[in-house]
Amino acid sequence: MFEKRNQRNRKDLKTFNQNNDNAKQNEDLINFLEHKLEEIEKKLQKCLFVTLIVDIWHSNQLADFIGICASLVDADFTKKLIVIGLKRMPGKHDAKNIKLMIETIVN
């Protein structure tokens, strides 16, 4: 599952790099993000328990956001927190829309 998602993320990052003028800065950003994705994948593979934390809020400008974090517990019972994603939350905060946003972020 992680490998398929990482391949998709790397493709998106390379497309971003091709569509921008700051190639060196973009390449550095791509390398940084790829490294972070690998770190997250390693942490997820070593953990015993994963709990997803979902929060919805609005800013002072009345823009709604949804954020998802993963709380991990490894074999040493060390807790780690990883931010999975953050997106604007359009529409109502009903179960159907929340489910759709969670799936969009996680997948």
List, for residues 5-38, the tens digit of each pLDDT value: 556 656 666 665 565 566 677 788 788 888 888 8
Per the DSSP assignment, residues forming a β-bridge with 49 are 73
**What is this structure's pTM?**
0.62
Integer Cα distance of 102 and 68 in angstroms = 8
What would you measure as the largest C-alpha separation in the chain, in angstroms?
Answer: 45
